């Protein structure tokens, strides 16, 4: 198993789209509780939601990509950019 950081930035002026798909996103992510180490919305300077960050554990990056591609937020076209990178926790509660 490997750890991956999934960093997603919303398209500009897309808060309504985010809110319209939030329940479906949370239900989808809830099906992956065993894989989620940490997750939540990214916030702008005004405190509003502007993206998502998930730290997840999968066998490989293809599983992380599949999770991301099937997220209701992604399917709704919410994201301007998604980056998925391998991550090695070395500080804090998840450090190995």
User: Taking residues 32-46, what's their average pLDDT?
Assistant: 96
Q: Is the pLDDT of residue 96 over 70?
A: no
Query: What's the predicted TM-score (pTM) here?
Result: 0.92
Rg (CA), the chain: 13
Q: What is the arithmetic mean of pLDDT over 31-56?
A: 96
Residue percentage of the chain with pLDDT more than 70:
97
Alpha-carbon distance values, 73 to 1, 28, 67, 76, 88 (Å): 25, 10, 11, 5, 26
Residue 94: pLDDT above 90? Answer: no
User: Residue 95 pLDDT > 70, yes or no?
Assistant: no
Q: What is the pLDDT of residue 93?
A: 74
């Amino acid at each position: 198993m490997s750890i991956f950081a999934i960093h997603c930035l919303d398209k500009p002026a897309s808060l309504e789209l985010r809110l319209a798909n939030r329940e479906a996103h949370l239900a989808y992510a809830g099906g992956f509780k065993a894989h989620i180490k940490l997750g939540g919305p990214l916030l702008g300077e005004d405190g509003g939601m502007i993206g998502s960050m998930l730290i997840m554990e999968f066998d490989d990056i293809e599983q992380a990509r599949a999770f991301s591609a099937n997220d209701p937020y992604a399917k709704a076209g919410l994201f301007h950019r998604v980056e998925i990178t391998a991550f090695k926790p070395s500080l804090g509660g998840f450090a190995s």
